[in-house]
Amino acid sequence: MNDTKLLQTFAIDQAGLVVSVRDVERGKACNCACPACGEVLIARQGEIRSWHFAHESGAECEGGTETALHLAAKQIVASAPQILIPGFEITGEVSDGNGSNERAAISIEPQYQKISKTTLELPSRTPLGLVVPDITIGTDDGVIFVEIAVTHFVDARKAEKLQSADQSSMEIDIDPSREEEWSWSALQSEVLDNAYNRRWINYAKTEELANAAKKLAEEKLLSRLSATAKTYKEIRYLLKSVPVRLRKHDWGVTVWAGWDDETNPVIRGMARRFGGRWNKRYKNWSYSPGLFSAIEQHLNDVGAILDTPHLNT
């Protein structure tokens, strides 16, 4: 982004604090400096153009606007009673062993966390080395590292370190071009309250929620299998000592059989005769509703013997 097109509305005062152009006296009497280059600033508070700071020399500072905005955002978090943290969603998945999967998602909406303690630029050790987050805050949900991105986002190496830590870490994206003259209230809203400009770099509860999502998926699978188990009537046969299962469902009829060289041609011949369709997922033959009695009679005719007669589940 070309920062020369943006107005610098924050600066550093003589006490080293970030101040808005609305907080200071006009002109050079503002006693402010640029946080990027250190040059004396002049508060331009005219009637036509939006109020802003200009460098005394008239030079265009490289990154002055973004640096000032970044420092102002950190100062806002440092004095805030609470901050909005991002939402989170994770999906758990389990298989029934027959090629069918069940999924369940757990979602957490963005929510405010009370801030009990704030430290700026606090070095922290991670398994991958030292990392210095912009802000470290203490909340009811534990320690959270906060990164403020104005033009420079967290790079891959820093993200890797943050992801290796036990603490959660999030990044807040401040687009400097959204406001011509950034005020404290506008920036405060962006930093503390905007649900759409923040994301998790690392969420400490990911594993816990992943396990919960998987457990929920397992419960859904058991519920589905239990419901399915109650919707069919089954007759068990032995055909040349090979097990055969004839099932009557609400939606149709299925036949499953073990395999050997003698039985397989018989089962395939029955499928051709009654229009059976091979189901690769469940490895059985499906038939149209109403064919249960006809297939039952056919199995009796080809010598199938009842194994467990009329087992209802």
Tokens representing residue 103 in the block: 């999924």
The 8 Å CB, 24+ separation contacts for 119-122 are 120/74, 120/78
Using 50, 70 and 90 to split pLDDT, how confident is the model at 4?
very low
**Would 290 be classed as within a structural domain?**
yes
**Would 270 be classed as within a structural domain?**
yes
Task: Write down the pLDDT at residue 3.
Answer: 41
Q: How far apart are CA 81 and CA 18, in angstroms?
A: 19
Q: Please, are residues 36 and 61 in contact by the beta-carbon 8 Å criterion?
A: yes
Range scoring the smallest mean pLDDT among 139-143, 227-231, 258-262: 227-231
Where is the domain boundary, 58, 78, 98?
78
Q: Does one domain contain both 109 and 199?
A: yes
pLDDT over 60 (residue 2) = no
Task: Write down the pLDDT at residue 5.
Answer: 63
Task: Write down the pLDDT at residue 91.
Answer: 94
Range scoring the smallest mean pLDDT among 104-108, 123-127, 149-153, 307-311: 307-311
Q: Please, are residues 81 and 115 in contact by the beta-carbon 8 Å criterion?
A: yes
Q: Does one domain contain both 106 and 197?
A: yes
Q: Does one domain contain both 202 and 180?
A: yes
- Structure confidence by residue, pLDDT tens digits, 105-143: 999 999 999 999 999 999 999 999 999 999 999 998 899
**Would 198 be classed as within a structural domain?**
yes
pTM of the model as a whole: 0.70
Q: Does one domain contain both 245 and 204?
A: no
Using 50, 70 and 90 to split pLDDT, how confident is the model at 223?
confident
Residues 6+ positions from 196 with CB-CB distance below 8 Å: none
Task: Write down the pLDDT at residue 111.
Answer: 96
Task: Write down the pLDDT at residue 227.
Answer: 67
Q: Please, are residues 192 and 84 in contact by the beta-carbon 8 Å criterion?
A: yes
**Would 224 be classed as within a structural domain?**
no
pLDDT over 90 (residue 232) = no
Beta bridge partners of 135: 120, 146
Where is the domain boundary, 48, 78, 108?
78
Which helix (H) or strand (E) covers residue 226, if one does? helix 206-229
Torsion of CA 33, 34, 35, 37, to 10 degrees: -120
Task: Write down the pLDDT at residue 313.
Answer: 44
- Structure confidence by residue, pLDDT tens digits, 196-212: 999 999 999 999 999 99
Q: How far apart are CA 146 and CA 281, in angstroms?
A: 48
pLDDT over 70 (residue 228) = no
Q: How far apart are CA 72 and CA 77, in angstroms?
A: 9
- Structure confidence by residue, pLDDT tens digits, 27-74: 999 999 999 999 999 999 988 888 999 999 988 787 889 999 999 999
Q: Please, are residues 73 and 174 in contact by the beta-carbon 8 Å criterion?
A: yes
pLDDT over 50 (residue 312) = no
Q: Does one domain contain both 195 and 256?
A: no
Q: Does one domain contain both 88 and 139?
A: yes
Which helix (H) or strand (E) covers residue 311, if one does? strand 305-312
Average pLDDT, the chain: 91
pLDDT over 70 (residue 270) = yes
**Would 218 be classed as within a structural domain?**
no
Task: Write down the pLDDT at residue 222.
Answer: 80
Q: How many domains does the chain have?
A: 3
Q: What is the span of the domain harbouring residue 290?
A: 232-312
Q: How far apart are CA 85 and CA 76, in angstroms?
A: 15
pLDDT over 60 (residue 309) = no
